[in-house]
Amino acid sequence: MLEKPHLYPWPLNIKYCLLIIDELKGRKIAKELGIEISGSLGVLITARNKGVIKKVKPLKETNFRLSDKWVQAVLNHVKED
């Protein structure tokens, strides 16, 4: 395993790119490279707001690894509390 992530020396020329990532180290590197990011919860919120999914609340009934605090914050945000 590499001690430091391998970064390519040339600039990224990516337009209209959204990286979906929850891992903190990867998010930090993506931000440094100017890549727009969203986590899993951001995707769920966007999907709910655009009508792609009807409810986020069924997430509580899955084995999705997320604290109750974060699940409740998302439910409050989309007004499903």
Which is more confidently placed, 59 or 76?
Answer: 76
**pLDDT value for 6:** 61
Strands (E), 1-81: 18-20, 36-38
Q: What are phi and psi of 19, to 5 degrees?
A: -95, 125
- What are 47-57's pLDDT values in tens digits? 999 999 999 88
Q: Enter the DSSP assignment of 11.
A: P
| Half-sphere exposure at residue 49, Cβ-oriented, CA atoms within 13 angstroms | 11
- What are 21-74's pLDDT values in tens digits? 988 999 998 888 888 899 988 998 999 999 999 998 887 788 877 888 888 898
Q: Is 18 helix (H, G, I), strand (E, B) or coil?
A: strand
Task: Specify the DSSP element, H or E, that contains 46.
Answer: helix 40-49
